[in-house]
């Protein structure tokens, strides 16, 4: 009896240790970087992701669908039993305890397989970038620079019959090429190097569209998953964003900047254009919040091709905005980010402009 209690205590202690790891990690980012993010994570996860990468489909999606089907089966079986017996199932403390144990164990696995990366040193600290508030004039100059680059790159990419940018090959070919930008970026920033499993497209795009999800990194399978139903202009950027998470950069603003960086360093113009365009979207949004008149002025500098692409992107998401699933997804994502100490929640996606401004200042000082 005593041994049974000891086993139970040890099991629960291990399951709930994720809470301890997360709280300790938040206090010691330097140690997390040295002992975990730059060492243990980079030794284990690349190999694991290459193993799951052997499968041409998303293993995570298959697992999730299987669990949903199993849950529906249990629900139907329980409903049938309730109808037959007309008795509610008795509450079982042991079953509830096992459920809590499983959930706590999953959280601990999440923390150990990826979640500690929320508490590592920032990408700016690792690369020596100085983050400081930017002036409206700096933001204006950055936006004009990105517009010029977007206009130039737009002339190098292919169009579909509607005059909207399309990839130079298939989506699967885009996945095969995505790592090339990381190879170039790793020459400047070794933290972005390493061999990982290829990104994968999600089959259930219906759910992804209605929840407003462009891509998702699943730590339990180390897979970078992408909503392939989106317009082509966003696919390279989204793919490299999820690949940044795969490489241990958990914060959304940093993953956005790394996606931009690896896209512009990519040898192919469709990747370069996608990266610059979504950096531009980010700075346009920031400029509009600071000075609506300046925003209106710079919008006139966009080429017709860039305008068509932005209109196509807006029209795509307008179809799905405001739905119940998206509102629920936004709240869940916001709570998730805040629980991992991204205190501005989903607004953290917008802080990419700070890193872009830091990069602009570096170029000016060279």
pLDDT band at 92 (very low <50, low <70, confident <90, very high): low
Nearest-angstrom CA–CA distance, 325 and 202: 18
Mean pLDDT of 252-274: 96
Query: What pLDDT, on the 0 to 100 scale, is given for residue 333?
Result: 46
Residue 117 clears pLDDT 60, i.e. is over it: yes
Tell me the mean pLDDT in the region 107-119. Answer: 90
Q: How far is CA 260 from the centre of its chain?
A: 13
Low-confidence winner among 90-104, 255-269, 294-308 (lowest mean pLDDT): 90-104
Which pTM was predicted?
Answer: 0.87
**pLDDT tops 80 at residue 100:** no
> Model confidence at 348, in pLDDT bands (50, 70, 90)?
very low
For residues 52 and 189, what is the distance between their CA atoms, to the nearest angstrom?
26
How deeply is 22 buried, as exposed, middle or buried, from its count of CB atoms within 10 A (0-12, 13-18, 19+)?
Answer: buried
The β-bridge relationship of strands 200-201 and 223-226 is parallel
Share of the chain above pLDDT 90, in %: 53
Q: Is the pLDDT of residue 322 over 70?
A: no
> Per-residue pLDDT tens for 18-41?
778 888 888 999 999 999 999 999
The predicted structure's pLDDT at residue 351: 72
Residue 340 has pLDDT above 60, yes or no: no
When pLDDT is cut at 50, 70 and 90, the band that residue 1 belongs to is low
- Convert the pLDDT of each residue in 145-174 to its tens digit: 999 999 999 999 999 999 999 999 999 999
pLDDT tier at 73, thresholds 50, 70, 90: confident
Q: Hey, which of 275-279, 313-317, 355-359 has the most confident mean pLDDT? A: 275-279
| Tally of CB atoms within 10 A around 356 | 24
**Range with the poorest average pLDDT among 140-144, 241-245, 285-289, 334-338:** 334-338
Q: Is 292 exposed, middle or buried (0-12, 13-18, 19+ CB in 10 A)?
A: exposed
User: What are the tens digits of pLDDT across the range 223-245?
Assistant: 999 999 999 999 999 999 999 99
Confidence of residue 81 (pLDDT cuts 50, 70, 90): confident
**Domain extents in the chain:** 2-119, 125-365
- pLDDT of the residue at 9: 67
The pLDDT tens digits for 38-51 are 999 999 999 999 99
| Average pLDDT over every residue of 89-97 | 61
């Amino acid at each position: 009896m005593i041994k049974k209690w000891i086993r139970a205590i040890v099991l629960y202690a291990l399951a709930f240790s994720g809470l301890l790891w997360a709280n300790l990690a938040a206090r010691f980012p330097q140690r997390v970087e040295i002992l975990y993010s730059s060492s243990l994570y980079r030794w284990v996860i690349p190999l694991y992701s290459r193993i799951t990468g052997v499968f041409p489909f998303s293993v995570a999606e298959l697992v999730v669908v299987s669990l949903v089907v199993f849950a529906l089966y249990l629900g139907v079986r329980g409903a049938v039993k309730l109808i037959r017996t007309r008795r509610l199932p008795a509450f079982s403390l042991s079953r509830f305890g096992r459920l809590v144990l499983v959930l706590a164990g999953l959280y601990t696995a999440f923390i150990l397989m990826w979640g500690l990366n929320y508490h590592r040193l920032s990408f700016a600290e690792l690369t020596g970038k100085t983050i400081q508030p930017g002036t409206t004039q700096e933001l204006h100059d950055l936006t004009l620079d990105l517009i010029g680059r977007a206009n130039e790159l737009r002339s190098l990419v292919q169009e579909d019959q509607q005059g909207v940018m399309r990839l130079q090959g298939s989506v699967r070919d885009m996945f095969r090429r995505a790592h090339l930008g990381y190879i170039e970026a790793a020459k400047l920033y070794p933290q972005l190097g390493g061999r990982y499993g290829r990104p994968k497209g999600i089959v259930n795009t219906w759910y992804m569209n209605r929840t407003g999800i462009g891509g998702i990194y699943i730590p339990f399978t180390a897979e970078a998953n992408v909503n392939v139903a989106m317009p082509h202009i966003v696919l390279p950027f989204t793919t490299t964003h999820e690949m940044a998470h795969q490489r241990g950069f958990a914060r959304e603003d940093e993953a956005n900047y790394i996606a931009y960086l690896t896209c512009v360093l990519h040898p192919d113009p469709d990747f370069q254009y996608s990266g610059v365009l979504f950096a531009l979207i980010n700075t346009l949004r920031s400029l509009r919040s600071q000075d609506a008149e300046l925003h209106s002025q710079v919008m006139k500098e966009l080429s017709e091709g860039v305008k068509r692409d932005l209109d196509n992107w807006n029209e795509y998401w307008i179809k799905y905005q405001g739905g119940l699933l998206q509102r629920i997804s936004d709240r869940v994502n916001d709570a998730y980010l805040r629980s991992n100490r991204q205190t501005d929640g989903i607004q953290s996606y917008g802080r990419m402009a700070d890193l872009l401004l830091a990069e602009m200042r570096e170029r000016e000082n060279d």
